[in-house]
């Protein structure tokens, strides 16, 4: 592989990471706005959201007795 091709691949990877970072920010902003609106409208409480997030986080983590591959 020549050096120019390798450098261009690195530039492309960096550009893709920047795009992902920007998309992640926009998704996080949109989600935060929805959560704030739900709380403001009294449909959910901050504690309900924290509790559900903890529940989902715990279910996403492998259990200690489960073998990891």
The two tokens of residue 50 are: 């924290």
Q: What are the domain boundaries of the chain?
A: 3-57
Q: Are the beta carbons of 46 and 39 closer than 8 angstroms? A: yes
Predicted confidence (pLDDT) at residue 64 exceeds the cutoff of 80: no
Mean pLDDT of 27-49: 97
Q: In the chain, where does DSSP find H-type helix? A: 3-40, 46-60
| pLDDT for 33 | 97
Distance CA 23, CA 15 (A): 12
What pLDDT score does 66 carry?
Answer: 56
CA pair distance 48, 24, nearest whole angstrom: 24
- The model carries a pTM of 0.64
pLDDT of amino acid 63: 64
């Amino acid at each position: 592989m020549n050096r120019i091709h390798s450098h261009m691949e690195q530039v492309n990877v960096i550009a893709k990471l920047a795009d992902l970072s920007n998309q992640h920010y926009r998704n996080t902003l949109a989600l935060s706005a929805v959560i704030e609106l739900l709380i403001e409208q009294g449909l959910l409480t901050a504690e309900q959201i924290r509790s559900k997030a903890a529940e989902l986080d715990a279910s996403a983590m492998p259990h200690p007795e489960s073998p990891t591959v």
